[in-house]
């Protein structure tokens, strides 16, 4: 059988085959950035962006393709033990690909400031004010132990925004059910070359390049 889930891009919802769902599939590819590596300076420097995108994200994509090929073979053989043993690698590399694909679109050289319209109203409704929301998401992201992500997600069942943290490359929707709107990568590779071990400085800077137009589009799409 064939099954799908919706992945929301900046412009539209795309129908995508989930990990391990299809026996016959196209390989995953590294998405192009919608801006140059140096475009987010001085907040995130070009060296970080180049390594983060062309090395780290590319590795997740390559490893995901390898593990999906092994998973396809295990499915064909009916080898449930092999399928189960491959789940951690699917989760880690698949999550890394999903998370970073969202992350790049959440950033923009024309970003910063505050959101407008429905998203801003929802933030005020669910967090009291934009300042409170920003403080809470920053605190959750700073507090991630080791490597992981801070997220603003949408709880479709409750019809409200929610902040969450995920460890390592755990994908937000696959592990919490929340639809991802805004993700902040707090792995050291996202900031160490520029901010060393001072994660709070990186988090202070990243608000200057948040692409609220993209986040607002994702919010509007997930409410449909």
Strands (E), the chain: 5-8, 13-16, 148-155, 160-167, 179-185
Q: Is 185 annotated as a binding residue?
A: yes
Query: Residue 171, CB half-sphere, CA atoms under 13 Å: how many?
Result: 23
Q: Is 53 annotated as a binding residue?
A: no
CA pair distance 169, 95, nearest whole angstrom: 5
**CB-CB neighbours of 57 under 10 Å:** 21
Q: Is 56 annotated as a binding residue?
A: no
Nearest to 181 by CA among 173, 191, 189, 193: 173
The CA-based angle 37-39-44, given to 5 degrees, is: 75
Q: Is 28 annotated as a binding residue?
A: no
CA pair distance 10, 86, nearest whole angstrom: 31
CA pair distance 74, 117, nearest whole angstrom: 48
51 close to 193: Cβ distance less than 8 angstroms? yes
| Positions at the binding site for Mn(2+) | 52, 100, 185, 189
| Positions at the binding site | 52, 100, 185, 189
């Amino acid at each position: 059988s064939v099954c799908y889930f919706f992945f929301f891009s900046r412009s539209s919802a795309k129908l995508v085959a989930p990990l391990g769902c299809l026996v016959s599939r196209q390989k995953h590819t590294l998405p192009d950035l919608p801006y140059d590596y140096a475009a987010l300076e001085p907040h995130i420097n070009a060296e970080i962006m180049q390594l983060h995108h062309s090395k780290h994200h590319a590795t997740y994509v390559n490893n995901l393709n390898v593990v999906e090929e092994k998973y396809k073979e295990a499915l064909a053989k009916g080898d449930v033990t092999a399928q189960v043993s491959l789940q951690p690698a699917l989760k880690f590399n698949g999550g890394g690909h999903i998370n970073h694909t969202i992350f790049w679109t959440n950033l923009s050289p024309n970003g910063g400031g505050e959101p407008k319209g429905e998203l801003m109203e929802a933030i005020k409704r669910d967090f009291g004010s934009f300042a409170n929301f920003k403080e809470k998401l920053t605190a959750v992201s700073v507090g991630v132990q080791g490597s992981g992500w801070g997220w603003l997600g949408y709880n479709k069942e409750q019809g409200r925004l929610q902040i969450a943290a995920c460890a390592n490359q755990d994908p937000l929707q696959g592990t919490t059910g929340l639809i991802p709107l805004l993700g902040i990568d707090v792995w050291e590779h996202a900031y160490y070359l520029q901010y060393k071990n001072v994660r709070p400085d990186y988090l202070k800077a990243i608000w200057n390049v948040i692409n609220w137009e993209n986040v607002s589009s994702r919010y509007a799409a997930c409410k449909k």
